[in-house]
Amino acid sequence: MSILAAALWFAFGCFALAQLLCLYRVVRAPGFSDRVLALDTMTINMIALITLFGIQRGTSFYFEATMLFAMVGFVSTVAFAKFILRGNIIE
């Protein structure tokens, strides 16, 4: 196994564990804002995971998926925070 493959698997393991920790925080959280924060972190980790998958496959085909995750994650987090604040998303 080359050094690159070993480092890739290490990073995969780290981000997968991070994703599980965030999932735990989504399921068991003391407040609403904790769940939103954990979901936001999950999209961030997903961006890293898809990029790692692209490196492993040696293709930039997954760029669109990464960009979609970044955009939808941002919009959904802002919408959720706005909903908690005002009870309305577009006023």
Partner 1 sequence: MTLLADILIAALLVAGGVFGLVGSWGVVRLPDMMTRLHGPTKAATLGVGSVLLASMIFFWAHHGHFSWHELLIALFVFLTSPITGLFIAKAHMHLSWTHGELPQPPSGAEWATWGQGAETSPIVTVPEDAPEGE
Q: Which residues bind partner 1 (CB under 8 A)?
A: 2-4, 6-8, 10-15, 17-19, 21-22, 24-25, 30-34, 36-38, 40-41, 44-45, 47-48, 51-52, 54-55, 58, 60, 63, 66-67, 70-71, 74, 77-78, 81-82, 84-88, 91
Please state, in angstroms and rounded to a whole number, the distance separating the CA atoms of residues 49 and 88: 33
DSSP letter (8 states) at residue 61: T
* CA separation, residue 61 to residues 16, 71, 85, 91 (Å): 21, 17, 38, 38
* CA separation, residue 17 to residues 2, 8, 45 (Å): 23, 14, 10
CB of 47 to partner 1, least distance (A): 6
CB of 55 to partner 1, least distance (A): 5
CB of 62 to partner 1, least distance (A): 9
